Amino acid sequence: MMEYLQRDFFTQLCALKKPTKSQDSTGAEKVTHDVKPGYEAIPCRVGPAGGGERRGNNYTYLDATHRIVLKGQFHDLTEEWLAEVDGQEYQILLAAKDAEGIMTRLETRIVR
């Protein structure tokens, strides 16, 4: 029953992009984001961010534009990663796992 409900809830697919740091020819740090193997097609749902204040470990922010809910938990996912859904990239501002181990909620904003 739960699998049936989840199939109807997670109607989109998300790719998670892990940052890779390197240096350019002048020695300046350069960050690129590449899809992590195994994280190419995660069932998800994208919606508008709800109103109100959101808190990270050491900060508060108000600029989330979208909430992405991922099926499953991703313990290595951090706020440095990007999420891509339907060709649109989102900067991850906060990643929160649920207590049941079923979902990961991402508070995000659109990358322009």
Residue type at position 89:
E
Using CA atoms of 57, 63, 66, 67 in order, give the dihedral in degrees to the nearest 10: 20
pLDDT tens sequence across 74-83: 989 999 999 9
Alpha carbon distances (Å) from 41 to 2, 9, 20, 52, 105: 20, 15, 20, 30, 16
pLDDT tens sequence across 55-110: 666 665 557 889 999 999 998 999 999 999 999 999 998 898 888 888 999 999 99
- Domains, the chain, ordered by start: 2-110 (2.40.10.270)
Select from 17, 64, 80, 72 the least CA-distant residue to 44.
72
> Where is average pLDDT lowest: 3-12, 16-25, 100-109?
3-12
**Predicted structure pTM score:** 0.80
| Confidence bin at 1 (pLDDT 50/70/90) | very low
